[in-house]
Amino acid sequence: METFHIIILLLDATFRVATPLVLAALAGMFSERAGVVDIGLEGKMLGAAFAAAAVAAVSGSAWVGLGAGILASIALSLLHAYACVTHKGNQVVSGMAINIVVAGLTPTLGYAWFSMGGQTPHLGGDARFKSITLPFAEAVHDIPVIGYIYAELISNHNIIVYLAAAAVPICAWILYKTRFGLRVRAVGENPHAVDTAGISVDWMRYKALMVTGFLCGIAGSYLSTAHGAGFIRDMTAGKGYLALAALIFGKWRPVPTLFACLLFAFTDAVQARLQGVELPIVGVIPVQFIQALPYILTVLLLAGFVGKANPPKSIGEPYIKER
């Protein structure tokens, strides 16, 4: 029973950690499937986390905060689009620039507005998304295994965790079963075909990047108003890059990407659990090493185990009409 209990705890932590990864990776999926490299997921999440926490702190409503987070992220996404769709700039440079600007701007604004060393005030009450207890969770808690899993693992998460779970099938449906999805996929594979079909390539990419901004905004807001209780500088800590890695590992497809996110989140949950634990023979493993585990895993997976990833064919190339 003890092992079972630990596994449930680990999976529970996995879900919490995976939520922003899944949302950000799906966000990146729309951008990259449309042919625009989005290394700026990190910056957009961070920007959204700050905007959500700041507005939630002032307004006292987590929902208003979420709206602000989404708007901030969409604005950054449009900036990215303006630089690399309208002006055909380098997509990696534009994304990195967004990451750097946001990393500097958020603590600066935070300091100017709240004078708390770059942080936002601690969020409580309605300013933060609270865990939801699903119906019958209490009642079935004592039923062995199934009831216990339902009450401990499935129930008691905040609304954004469930939102992320729902986002996977919804995004898959949009990408594969709708006109918008068909055009997004086409514009990332062969924008010339899209242009000759009478569809504006630039406008399609703008639309895809707005979807990216929307999803990324939810991911960032989760960090500061649901998972955490306020904004801390650099609180994304590479999650945007991790999401991008999961997207590549998942070969730009929604369901494999979900599993990649869960795998990364699981190693993160495990590393948290391993800290300070004494193992036979080796003894206590240095914390730094354990904390590096998810990243080492990322590098290993991307280097060797993904197999041949077939990225969208026109990714990274600004669309320029040929003469």
Contact call for residue 183 and other proteins (CB under 8 A): yes
Structure letter (DSSP) for residue 60:
S
The span of 17-25, 105-113, 170-178, 262-270 binding other proteins (CB under 8 A) equals: 170-178
Contact call for residue 323 and other proteins (CB under 8 A): yes
Contact call for residue 320 and other proteins (CB under 8 A): no
* Binders in 285-314 for other proteins, by CB under 8 A: 308, 313
Please identify, using beta-carbon distances, which residue of 21 and 204 lies nearer to other proteins: 204
Taking CB under 8 A as the criterion, the residue among 10, 13, 71, 192 binding other proteins is: 192
The span of 40-48, 112-120, 129-137, 173-181 binding other proteins (CB under 8 A) equals: 173-181
To other proteins, the closest distance from the beta carbon of 25 in angstroms equals 20
Please identify, using beta-carbon distances, which residue of 192 and 273 lies nearer to other proteins: 192
- For 202, the token pair is 């630039």
Taking CB under 8 A as the criterion, the residue among 196, 282, 288, 304 binding other proteins is: 196
Please identify, using beta-carbon distances, which residue of 31 and 73 lies nearer to other proteins: 31
Task: State how far the Cα of 54 lies from the Cα of 58, in Å rounded to an integer.
Answer: 6
Task: State how far the Cα of 258 lies from the Cα of 302, in Å rounded to an integer.
Answer: 16
To other proteins, the closest distance from the beta carbon of 182 in angstroms equals 6
91, with CB counted inside 10 A (0-12, 13-18, 19+), is buried
- Continuous segment of H or E residues that includes residue 132: strand 131-132
Token match 């309605």: residue?
A: 126
| Pair 206, 80: CB distance under 8 Å | no
Residues 6+ apart with CB under 8 A from 204: 34, 183, 184, 187, 194
Contact call for residue 170 and other proteins (CB under 8 A): no
The span of 54-62, 126-134, 145-153, 177-185 binding other proteins (CB under 8 A) equals: 177-185
Contact call for residue 251 and other proteins (CB under 8 A): no
Q: Helices in 223-320 by DSSP H: which ranges? A: 239-249, 254-274, 287-300
Give 28's Cβ-side CA count (13 Å radius): 36
CA angle 7, 236, 302 (to 5 degrees): 70
Give me the residues that bind other proteins (CB under 8 A), please.
176-183, 185-186, 189-190, 192-199, 308, 313, 321, 323
